[in-house]
Structure 1
Amino acid sequence: MLRWESGRVIAHRRGWPGVASLQVEVTGADGAPETLRALAYTELVGTPQVGETVDLNTNALRRGLGTGGDAIVVSRRDDSPDAAEIAGHMMKLRYTPMQTMVDALDDPASPHYARISHARDVEGMPVVVADLHSSLAPIVAGIRAEAPSARIVYVMTDGAALPAAYSRTLAALRERGLVTASVTAGQAFGGDLEAVTVHSALLGARHVLEADVAVVIQGPGNLGTGTGWGFSGVQAGDVLNAAGVLGGAPIGALRVSEADERARHRGLSHHSATAYGRMTLVPARFPVLAPRRAGDWVFHAQVTAQVEQLIIEQAARRGLVHELVEVPDDGLLAALQALPVRLSTMGRGLEEDPASFVYGALAGRAAASLIV
């Protein structure tokens, strides 16, 4: 069920491309005025002005959720924007009250349709896959550390947040030119290009946007349940399969943590073990830290052993040969610190849990070495 509330816009907060951030005054449960922070996706509802009455979805906000814990503007009582005319007929958020028409690159009306129709593969393009959106910036840092001029295209899947505009990380990386462009696949929307599937998104990244590397991750808001298969990042295995089927070089960025209090996520996360060790149907590369003499090597040696047992050997029992790739981390910490975004995963930053970010950067560096 949806929780609806209505209120009046009283101020604008600092937004970012695709998102208007607002302060909205509503009537609280006790009948007194209450001020909420609300987000308006401008692609869907335009930019509400101060004094307007807006209808809000407050499900996540009232439940006290972290990611997604904002009120969302669903409609404007006083002024609704005119819909922009587009040539295509592809619908995203299909059969919901907010379904929106997009110009998808694989739509027959698209100027890219002929190119996508004739494209058969991605020509060996490295495709880095991760299950958490917080891996995006570290992967980009790793690529840039090795290949500063690489054209990096982010493909956002529909496992978590659906509007690409929700990601302030993506907005900052795009603004600084660290990510060249984005493609939103499936029900996700708002990228520089829209695609019906991850497969056509990868073809578009390579043949329309001329990507050297594609990074494929769900948006913010991974959904997990604590069960073996009940997490939205499980689709990372499917994405590796798509990359392999299309003739790419699939690379799995490992979810690793030194600080997570949950045993199932400490060291190598069970999410990576499941998506990569049990779901993949194509050979892929899995970057780990190259051996070194430093005092913290014990932890990384344990991670490597977990990867060998839970991913490499698990896949081998199904007749699949994965590759463990040892990657040095020289300069990667500095590259992570230089990023124009705040690094955070599960509420922890770079200082609290460096491994969570370093392994993304290792995957990026491994991908950069395969650019052709």
Structure 2
Amino acid sequence: MLNRRRAKVLEILSRRPDVLEILVDVDGERCKAICYPDLTGEVSRDDEVLVNTTALDLGLGTGGFHFVICNLSRPEEEKSPPSGRIMKLRYTPVQRSVVSVEEDDSFTRRRMHDFVSLDGMPVVCCELHSQIAPVAAAVKTVSGYLVRIAYLMTDGAALPLAFSRLVKDLKSAGLIDRTITCGQAFGGDFEAINVYTGLIATKQAAKADIAIVSQGPGNAGTGSKYGFSGIQQGEAANACSILGGTPIIVPRISFADSRERHRPVSHHTVTILSEVALFPCWVPVPNMPEQKLAEVTAVLKRAVSKAGHKIRVIDADAGLEEMARKHLQVKTMGRSVGEDREFFLAGAAAGVLANELLRKSQK
């Protein structure tokens, strides 16, 4: 199902790199819409545009936005000659070419070709996009901002990196140094064809000391055992191990989620640790009140019993303190740090552990 409606642009509400938030009139109703100028061409006030209304028509939210398909007032627009030969969003009307790190024409080609191993590089694998903030904040603060971080965004959720306000804020705050988008995801500082070359690029192209991997905003879930896009967390951990890195799985911990299947440890995490992540991983658990810690570790111990994963309890408050110092407003499923502290602490614990493992590997 694809619902399309004509709309009139009333106002440009905000402009971020590669994305506009606009106010449009759809049949007399004022609505917010997202426009990616690289895909649709620029839009201005009073332009007539065609918008995709499907998600809101279904009540799915998507942040409360329609999405601009094209500018009907300017259906043709001259662009600079296309660069690169790798297509993303392949075989759709908005397929676009990029210069991927693997291509002969890429300045990173030689570095990628010279790759041998990740050499134990810590790779923090997240299920949800919001987890990357406490991971990055913790790494930076405990390392004294001496560690370079690359964020690899997979294609399980939002495909344009530009849709993520969080990544923009983390880069502006100096918490992420470089970005890579892999698969059909696009818009990173570097483009990669798959998660393997994406991970290689974090080391060879982005020159990172630590990598963070997650899907973009917009996790898809069904309540079923395997039917969630965040299952890529386990796939990324496997790729990390195959390439010689040190995978760290951020457990999805919450005592505030209204859904029992996500308390105190999400069934997603249990599935990933017990069935998807096939190589030994580190599983950091944030220090928390005794009863909560006992509940969390009991679930995790059952999940890791057959796979050889290693659980570590970590003091992680420094990561959340750094997020507050940087004035980062991050939410998970609508809940703030104050409302779901343990969720964010788990990410911070992963960041602290990643820095510890990095230091040990450098000795």
* Residue 23 of structure 2 is aligned to residue 23 of structure 1: yes
In the alignment, is the contact (CA less than 8 A) between 1:104 and 1:110 conserved in 2? yes
Residues matched between the structures, number: 357
* Residues in 1 aligned to 2:239 and 2:155: alpha-carbon distance in whole angstroms: 15
In the alignment, is the contact (CA less than 8 A) between 2:138 and 2:318 conserved in 1? no
Match of 1:347? 334
1:23: how far off?
A: 0.9
**1:257–1:339: structure 2 CA closer, same or farther, 3 Å change rule?**
farther
> Which of 73, 79, 82 pairs up with 2:78?
82
1:89: how far off?
A: 0.7
What secondary structure does 1:153 align onto? Answer: strand
Q: Matches of residues 1-372 of structure 1 in structure 2 within 5 Å?
A: 1-27=1-27, 33-79=28-74, 80-147=76-143, 148-290=145-287, 296-310=289-303, 312-315=304-307, 321-371=308-358, 372=362
* Residues in 2 aligned to 1:195 and 1:214: alpha-carbon distance in whole angstroms: 15
What secondary structure does 1:14 align onto? Answer: strand
In the alignment, is the contact (CA less than 8 A) between 1:157 and 1:184 conserved in 2? yes
Deviations 1:73-125 (A, max 9, x none): 11112224323324411011111111111111112221211221231222221
The one-letter amino acid paired with 1:283 is P
1:145: how far off?
A: 2.3
* Residues in 2 aligned to 1:197 and 1:100: alpha-carbon distance in whole angstroms: 16
* Residues in 1 aligned to 2:220 and 2:291: alpha-carbon distance in whole angstroms: 31
In the alignment, is the contact (CA less than 8 A) between 1:256 and 1:268 conserved in 2? yes
What secondary structure does 1:119 align onto? Answer: coil
The one-letter amino acid paired with 2:306 is Q
* Residues in 1 aligned to 2:118 and 2:16: alpha-carbon distance in whole angstroms: 32
1:36: how far off?
A: 1.4
* Residues in 1 aligned to 2:138 and 2:299: alpha-carbon distance in whole angstroms: 23
Deviations 1:127-147 (A, max 9, x none): 000110010111111111211
The one-letter amino acid paired with 2:305 is E
1:330: how far off?
A: 4.4
Higher mean C-alpha displacement, 124-133 vs 340-349: 340-349
% same residue: 39
Higher mean C-alpha displacement, 71-80 vs 162-171: 71-80
TM-score of the pair, normalised by structure 1: 0.92
1:261: how far off?
A: 1.4
1:198: how far off?
A: 0.7
**1:10–1:216: structure 2 CA closer, same or farther, 3 Å change rule?**
same
Match of 1:318? none
The one-letter amino acid paired with 1:269 is S
In the alignment, is the contact (CA less than 8 A) between 1:150 and 1:213 conserved in 2? yes
**1:118–1:164: structure 2 CA closer, same or farther, 3 Å change rule?**
same
Deviations 1:147-175 (A, max 9, x none): 12211110000000000000000011112
* Residues in 1 aligned to 2:49 and 2:203: alpha-carbon distance in whole angstroms: 41
* Structure 1 spans left out of the alignment, 5+ residues: 28-32, 316-320
* Residues in 1 aligned to 2:77 and 2:266: alpha-carbon distance in whole angstroms: 45
* Residues in 2 aligned to 1:357 and 1:45: alpha-carbon distance in whole angstroms: 36
What secondary structure does 2:15 align onto? Answer: coil
Deviations 1:230-284 (A, max 9, x none): 0000111110000011111100011000111111100111111111221112111
What secondary structure does 1:303 align onto? Answer: helix
1:224: how far off?
A: 0.5
Deviations 1:48-89 (A, max 9, x none): 111211111111122222335411111112224323324411
Higher mean C-alpha displacement, 1-10 vs 82-91: 82-91
* Residues in 1 aligned to 2:114 and 2:63: alpha-carbon distance in whole angstroms: 39
In the alignment, is the contact (CA less than 8 A) between 2:41 and 2:71 conserved in 1? no
Higher mean C-alpha displacement, 115-124 vs 163-172: 115-124
* Residues in 1 aligned to 2:159 and 2:142: alpha-carbon distance in whole angstroms: 31
* Residues in 2 aligned to 1:297 and 1:307: alpha-carbon distance in whole angstroms: 15
The one-letter amino acid paired with 2:260 is A
* Residues in 2 aligned to 1:36 and 1:257: alpha-carbon distance in whole angstroms: 33
* Residues in 2 aligned to 1:246 and 1:116: alpha-carbon distance in whole angstroms: 13
* Residues in 2 aligned to 1:332 and 1:215: alpha-carbon distance in whole angstroms: 15
* Structure 2 spans left out of the alignment, 5+ residues: none
TM-score of the pair, normalised by structure 2: 0.95
In the alignment, is the contact (CA less than 8 A) between 2:137 and 2:320 conserved in 1? no
What secondary structure does 1:268 align onto? Answer: coil
* Residues in 1 aligned to 2:318 and 2:180: alpha-carbon distance in whole angstroms: 29
